[in-house]
Amino acid sequence: MKTDKTKVKRRPDRGHYDKETVYRILDRDFICQIGFVFDGYPVVIPTIYGRKGNSLYFHGANVSRMLQTLEKGVSVSVNVTLTDALVLARSAFHHSLNYESVTLFGTAHLVDGDEDKMEALKIISDQVLKDRWSEVRLPNEKELNVTKVLKLEINEVSAKIRAEGVGDDKPDYDLDIWAGVVPIHRTYGKAIPDELLKSGIETAPSVKKIENERL
Amino acid sequence: MKTDKTKVKRRPDRGHYDKETVYRILDRDFICQIGFVFDGYPVVIPTIYGRKGNSLYFHGANVSRMLQTLEKGVSVSVNVTLTDALVLARSAFHHSLNYESVTLFGTAHLVDGDEDKMEALKIISDQVLKDRWSEVRLPNEKELNVTKVLKLEINEVSAKIRAEGVGDDKPDYDLDIWAGVVPIHRTYGKAIPDELLKSGIETAPSVKKIENERL
């Protein structure tokens, strides 16, 4: 939604406001930076998130200062940024990055009730590693009780994307300077089994699916 | 420096306050998230940075709302987070990530004077791609004039690190569930020359050095 807050000011041509684009970018990652005001000063804290439908979910320990602050209904700003390439121009001035970024404003709400909390934790787990939830020992009552889950609706949101080649000033194209794009990839490496893994246990299917693959 | 602001509250065992650790983590990346308060609400914006000595430098267009706000001397919070691995426990509850993160508080100041601005821009350029600065057409007067550079001293800062294996509850070690760590790597791909590159120009040395290498 394009509002005064979310409108992309610098390079408005790179701004996107459709949910499809926002969801696609959010689904490329599972780490965001949450900004809020605490004691009058801004704080930016990285945290894991999960998205389902139009909601973003966060979790942590009951005692987390961030979650305790957010729960009070303070304004938050969330950013997710993926850097896809270095864009190397002939001039220093026109160097750039290719990236996809989402910035979201809103107010988080506590997810209450064991069933809703479990559902939200599954959404977060799925975001980090699809299907892992079905392989593990699920949270028990005690674990649920010390875990706080918050939900943020994806309404005041914008995406900013640069996905192009080099753009130099006309006269600079004559310079004998290499220019181009260097992609940046994130990949999972080979899984390292826990030293205390019981013998005979094969790598989990959720892990086999991502080993040596791109994020 | 450990202050009330920077003290790592959750999992204080993961907190680090020595500059060596802070610099090492900052030097692994070139993208940070800056948080500040604008019109009473928090804003988190991703931006490129460069570090030299105890200073962090940011740059952008003169008209950038973020830089115009920061220049006024408002409080800022900066976060850099690198996610190094998925930590997959037998229990959902003990799933975690390995990561290195730096959180910094302070007030930015304008870098004034062409010479100091050029030096700061070189530091930022070096952070993104070492030695690129010596290969390109450097900023001219006009370009310098439309560029704003800010500097932030690295004083109120802390690092938070998790770099361990799986930690499960004792009884869960008997479960037939795979547990382990899946590393996450960032790598540069093969450089893609600009379509308008003059013929006969070889890939720049700065680029050759990083092609297919890890960040």
Determine the distance in angstroms separating the CA of B82 from the nearest CA of chain A, rounded to an integer: 10
* Same domain assignment for residues A151 and A197: no
Residue A171 contacts B, CB cutoff 8 Å: no
Chain length of chain A: 215
Question: What's the pLDDT at A11?
Answer: 87
Tell which of A3, A33, A170 to mutate to test the B interface (max B CBs under 10 Å): A33
Cβ-Cβ contacts under 8 Å, B125 against chain A: 92, 95
Please write the tens of the pLDDT for every residue from B60-90.
999 999 999 999 999 999 999 999 999 999 9
Q: How far apart are CA B38 and CA B53, in angstroms?
A: 29
Q: How many domains does the structure of chain A reveal?
A: 2
Cβ-Cβ contacts under 8 Å, A42 against chain B: 35-37, 42, 75-77
With respect to residue A151, please indicate whether it lies within any of the assigned structural domains: yes
Residue with tokens 């996610």: B83
Which candidate, A124, A123, A1, A142, places its Cα nearest to that of A62? Answer: A142
Q: How far apart are CA B124 and CA B56, in angstroms?
A: 9
Question: What's the pLDDT at B9?
Answer: 82
Q: How far apart are CA A4 and CA A2, in angstroms?
A: 7
With respect to residue A179, please indicate whether it lies within any of the assigned structural domains: no
Q: What angle do CA B213, B54, B60 make, to 5 degrees?
A: 70
Determine the distance in angstroms separating the CA of A154 from the nearest CA of chain B, rounded to an integer: 16
Question: What's the pLDDT at B6?
Answer: 87
* Same domain assignment for residues A20 and A114: yes
With respect to residue B81, please indicate whether it lies within any of the assigned structural domains: yes
Mention every residue, 6+ apart, whose C-beta is less than 8 A from residue B174: A198
- Torsion angles phi and psi, residue B110, rounded to 5: -65, 135
Q: Which residue among B77, B182, B189 sits closest to A189, beta carbon to beta carbon? A: B182
**Record: contact A35-B33, CB cut-off 8 A:** yes
Q: DSSP state, A202?
A: P
Which candidate, A2, A3, A42, A50, places its Cα nearest to that of A23? Answer: A50
Residue B170 CB-half CA count within 13 A: 0
In B15-34, the residues whose Cβ lies within 8 Å of chain A are 31, 33-34
Question: What's the pLDDT at A2?
Answer: 80
**ipTM field:** 0.96
* Same domain assignment for residues B162 and B196: no
With respect to residue B4, please indicate whether it lies within any of the assigned structural domains: no
Output the six-digit token pair for B159. Answer: 């690092």
Q: Which residue among B79, B172, B177 sits closest to A33, beta carbon to beta carbon? A: B79
**Record: contact A35-B44, CB cut-off 8 A:** yes
What are the residue ranges in chain A where pLDDT is below 50? none
Mention every residue, 6+ apart, whose C-beta is less than 8 A from residue B157: B1, B6, B17, B19, B22, B102, B103, B104, B105
* Same domain assignment for residues A147 and A202: no
In A112-131, the residues whose Cβ lies within 8 Å of chain B are 121, 125, 128-129
With respect to residue A158, please indicate whether it lies within any of the assigned structural domains: yes
Q: How far apart are CA A98 and CA A103, in angstroms?
A: 16
What are the residue ranges in chain B where pLDDT is below 50? none
Question: What's the pLDDT at B33?
Answer: 98
- A60-86 burial code (b ≥16 CB/10 A, e <16): beeebebbebbeeeebbbbbbbbbbbb
Determine the distance in angstroms separating the CA of B123 from the nearest CA of chain A, rounded to an integer: 12
With respect to residue A159, please indicate whether it lies within any of the assigned structural domains: yes
Output the six-digit token pair for A66. Answer: 């961030």
With respect to residue B191, please indicate whether it lies within any of the assigned structural domains: yes
Cβ-Cβ contacts under 8 Å, A183 against chain B: 188-190, 192
Structural domain boundaries, residue B214: 186-215
With respect to residue B173, please indicate whether it lies within any of the assigned structural domains: no
Rounded to whole angstroms, the maximal C-alpha distance in chain A is 68
Question: What's the pLDDT at A25?
Answer: 98
DSSP 3-state percent helix, strand, coil across chain A (nearest 5): 25, 40, 35
Question: What's the pLDDT at A183?
Answer: 98
In A55-74, the residues whose Cβ lies within 8 Å of chain B are 60-61, 63-65
Question: What's the pLDDT at B8?
Answer: 86
* Same domain assignment for residues B139 and B191: no
Question: What's the pLDDT at A68?
Answer: 95
Residue B215 contacts A, CB cutoff 8 Å: yes
Q: How far apart are CA A73 and CA A107, in angstroms?
A: 5
pTM of the model: 0.97
Question: What's the pLDDT at A110?
Answer: 97
* Same domain assignment for residues A153 and A197: no
Q: How far apart are CA B122 and CA B144, in angstroms?
A: 12
* Same domain assignment for residues A63 and A115: yes
Contacts A–B by Cβ distance under 8 A: 275
CATH number reported for the structural domain that contains residue A148 in this entry: 2.30.110.10
